[in-house]
Amino acid sequence: MNVNIENSWKEVLKDEFEKEYFSDLVKFIRNEYSTTTIYPPGNKIFAAFDSTPFNEVKVVIIGQDPYHGEHQANGLSFSVNDGIPFPPSLRNIFQEVHDDTGAPIPQSGDLSRWAHQGVLMLNATLTVRAHCPGSHQGKGWETFTDAAIRKLAEQRENLVFILWGSYAMKKGAFIDRTRHLVLTSPHPSPLSVRRGFYGNHHFSQANGYLTAHGKTPIVW
């Protein structure tokens, strides 16, 4: 099965592409795109992988679903296209970056600038129906993204895994804390941002860890 994904990830995940669950997932996704409005655009489904090759990953930020509003999702977790108003979670992320590192609040919500520095912005589910949050959960994407996280945890050393909220924490529960830095806090959504997301200092902690292990810090 030919999957359009960056070559290093295609090699790392080649066994997944041959499994029955993935074949069923592809059939489901193709039907969805041909019959209704799905986000992100088809050529952006694997944008997180395409933007951050396997051996260049330094930080992993795990989201849940793509944004389900028009023109929002661009294939990177928490990210939106240029010109799109910041969703509340992204606005809160930028506020914490500012408070933590002093970086100015950016004009663009497109997090490609992070991805190109080695931040894998990975949603657990890579597609969603328009205006139907969670509509593609339980179809196989979670198995696929679990496999990607596991490959990173097992084959790489000294990565930073950032897990916001209970969903991401469960997804990353297996990661070996002796080989990687795992940062957890409440989710940046308005419902939980003041319960411990603000003030978590994850961005400065990530950079401190990267620097201590001889890696270039991220310009957040």
Q: List active site positions.
A: 65
User: Omega before 66 cis (within 30°)?
Assistant: no
